[in-house]
């Protein structure tokens, strides 16, 4: 396997001026990204999450050639982002959720046409990619509407298309679902899932919405205070922070003697088991209970885990 993205000790410092007293200001150096190591293989779908100001966007900006790292090395598609910016630009796609690549006053159709010229994409390739996006993202009804009149959801579908028309190897998405309604979020997620399923586009996605990650990404990188605090699967995250599935059993009558390992709630009418590994043996055991009314398996809540992660000071 070849790594599409490689970063070693990536660091970005900003100088901020802090007001000290009435007139004096002091310069302070703040590390927005503080030694990030990252290796992403071709075709991976990577969720890059962290609280506000953790350094997500800054990392993305360094990988896309917008910002120069203060220290460390990065290679994307084998290129060094800032010095080889224009070459890299042809091979990556970037979607900023709150910023637009489209021409405000022009219909989407015209924006797409302009982008074909800017990236100098052969007409046939361009047409084929556009056809695919139009189909998957239902663009047809607003292809001729000026971008300024599009809803946020429609615009985001346009942005995704715009970022893909030159056939990028890596697609960077910075908060692609921010501010979208539920339906548009679903549309964007299914599109990205479809795109990732092909296996030839690498996706790097920052988000606040963990549902994006659960739906799309098998690998999750959590960053906090500029450092990577978790890199692995979602399951690994749960395992590491002890979040487990729960089996909840409701009974018609209170049990006299609760089974082993159960927490009794609701005056003995509810039993709660936490499960490591497969739930089937537990369920089999419970099915024999008299007066069983209902049984539910609750998946661990990723939000909760991540919140705990953010809150824990000086996480490893």
Q: Which is nearer to another protein, 13 or 214 (CB)?
A: 13
Q: Which is nearer to another protein, 167 or 232 (CB)?
A: 167
Nearest distance from residue 300's CB to another protein, in Å?
A: 36
Which two structure tokens, joined as six digits, stand for 142? 């607003």
Residues 128-157 that bind another protein (CB under 8 A): 146
Q: Is 99 in the site for another protein (CB under 8 A)?
A: yes
Q: Which is nearer to another protein, 96 or 273 (CB)?
A: 96
Q: Which is nearer to another protein, 8 or 90 (CB)?
A: 90
Nearest distance from residue 136's CB to another protein, in Å?
A: 23
- Dist. CA 91–CA 77, nearest whole Å: 7
Which two structure tokens, joined as six digits, stand for 112? 């797409």
Side-chain-side CA neighbours of 292 within 13 Å: the count stands at 14
Q: Which is nearer to another protein, 109 or 246 (CB)?
A: 109
Residues 168-227 that bind another protein (CB under 8 A): none
Q: What number of chain residues touch another protein (CB under 8 A)? A: 38
Buried b (16+ CB within 10 A) or exposed e, 164-176: bbbbbbbbbbbbb
**Residue selected from 26, 105, 138, 298 as contacting another protein according to rule CB under 8 A:** 105
Residue 268 neighbours by CB under 8 Å, 6+ apart: 251, 254, 255, 258
Name the segment binding another protein (CB under 8 A); options: 71-79, 93-101, 287-295, 297-305. 93-101
Q: Which is nearer to another protein, 23 or 284 (CB)?
A: 23
Closest residue by Cα to residue 173 from 182, 184, 164: 164
Q: Which residue is it, tokens 């990205």?
A: 192
Name the segment binding another protein (CB under 8 A); options: 85-93, 130-138, 199-207, 235-243. 85-93
Nearest distance from residue 213's CB to another protein, in Å?
A: 23
Residues 23-82 that bind another protein (CB under 8 A): 32, 58, 61, 64-68, 70, 82
- Dist. CA 127–CA 156, nearest whole Å: 20
The SS3 call for residue 263 is strand
Closest residue by Cα to residue 213 from 187, 184, 234: 234
- Could you tell me which residues are beta bridge partners of residue 221? 48, 231
Q: Which is nearer to another protein, 90 or 269 (CB)?
A: 90
Side-chain-side CA neighbours of 173 within 13 Å: the count stands at 35
Long-range pairs of 141-144 with CB within 8 A, sequence gap ≥ 24: 142/108, 143/107, 143/108, 143/109, 144/107, 144/108, 144/109
Q: Is 312 in the site for another protein (CB under 8 A)?
A: no
Residues 268-297 that bind another protein (CB under 8 A): none
Q: Is 87 in the site for another protein (CB under 8 A)?
A: yes
Rounded to 5 degrees, what angle do the CA atoms 231, 88, 209 make? 40
Name the segment binding another protein (CB under 8 A); options: 103-111, 201-209, 215-223, 230-238. 103-111
The residue ranges that bind another protein (CB under 8 A) are 12, 14-15, 32, 58, 61, 64-68, 70, 82, 85-87, 89-90, 92, 94, 96, 98-101, 103-106, 110-111, 113-114, 117-120, 146
């Amino acid at each position: 396997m070849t790594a599409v993205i490689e970063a070693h000790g990536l660091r970005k410092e900003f100088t901020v001026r802090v007001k000290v007293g009435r007139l004096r200001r002091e310069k302070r150096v703040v590390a927005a990204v503080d030694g990030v190591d990252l290796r992403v293989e071709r075709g991976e779908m990577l969720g890059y999450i962290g609280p506000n100001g953790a350094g997500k966007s800054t990392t993305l900006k360094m990988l896309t050639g917008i910002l120069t790292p203060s220290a460390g090395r990065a290679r994307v598609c084998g290129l060094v982002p800032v010095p080889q910016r224009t070459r890299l630009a042809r091979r990556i796609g970037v979607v900023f959720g709150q910023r637009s690549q489209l021409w405000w006053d022009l219909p989407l159709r015209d924006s797409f046409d302009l982008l074909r010229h800017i990236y100098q994409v052969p007409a046939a390739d361009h047409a084929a990619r556009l056809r695919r996006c139009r189909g998957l993202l239902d663009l047809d009804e607003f292809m001729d509407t000026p971008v300024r009149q599009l809803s946020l959801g429609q615009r985001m579908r346009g942005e995704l298309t715009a970022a893909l028309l030159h056939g990028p190897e890596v697609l960077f998405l910075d908060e692609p679902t921010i501010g979208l309604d539920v339906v548009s979020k679903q549309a964007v997620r299914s599109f990205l899932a479809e795109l990732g399923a092909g296996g030839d586009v690498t996706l790097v996605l920052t988000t606040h919405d963990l549902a994006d990650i659960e739906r799309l990404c098998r690998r999750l990188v959590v960053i906090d205070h500029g450092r990577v605090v978790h890199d692995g699967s979602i399951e690994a995250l749960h395992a590491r922070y002890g979040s487990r599935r729960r089996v909840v059993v409701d009974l018609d009558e209170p049990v006299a003697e609760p089974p082993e390992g159960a927490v009794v709630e609701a005056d003995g009418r509810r039993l709660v088991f936490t499960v490591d590994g497969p739930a089937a043996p537990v369920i089999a055991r419970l099915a024999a209970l008299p007066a069983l009314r209902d049984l539910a398996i609750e998946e661990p809540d990723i939000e909760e885990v991540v919140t705990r992660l953010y809150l824990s000071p000086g996480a490893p």
